[in-house]
Amino acid sequence: MSLNDPMLYAYLLVILAGFLPTDVFRSAAVLFSRKIDEDGELLVFIRAVATALLAGVIARLVLAPTGDLAGVPLWIRLMTIVIGVAAYFLFRRSVLAGIITAEIAIVGGAVLFR
């Protein structure tokens, strides 16, 4: 890659405009988070809002999907949630286990019943 390559400038733009500003805020968050009370009212509220947003995104993906996911039957998408939650509890509240199991279930269901 030479200095005249336009892709080089695209990568630099991504690094300067995308990575560095967020990295600065992440580093600041690590420094300031030491003083935050985990059980404080503000953090409990923020956690509740984040959980609600995540639930909304998941509900939208399951109930009103776009793209290839729209071709997967609704009952498979709903069973994927059940399987993922069951794996979460089966593997001692492991989020990673729940996600991986749900991914395997949705891909397997899409392949088998499409």
pLDDT single digits (tens) 56-113? 999 999 999 999 899 999 999 999 999 999 999 999 999 999 999 999 999 999 999 8
12 lies in some domain: no
Range of the domain at 77: 66-114
Burial of 18 (0-12, 13-18, 19+ CB in 10 A): exposed
Count the alpha carbons within 13 Å of 81 in the hemisphere toward its beta carbon.
11
72 lies in some domain: yes
31 lies in some domain: no
22, 27, 30, 33: CA torsion to nearest 10: -70
Which pLDDT band holds residue 55 (cuts at 50, 70, 90)?
A: very high
Whether the Cβ atoms of residue 99 and residue 84 lie closer than 8 Å to each other: yes
15 lies in some domain: no
42 lies in some domain: no
* pLDDT reported for residue 9: 81
pTM above 0.85, yes or no: no
> What is the DSSP secondary structure assignment for residue 1, as one 8-state letter?
-
What domain count does the chain have? 1
Which of 4-13, 28-37, 85-94 is modeled with the greatest confidence? 85-94
60 lies in some domain: no
92 lies in some domain: yes
Of residues 2 and 35, the one with the higher pLDDT is: 35
* pLDDT reported for residue 1: 61
87 lies in some domain: yes
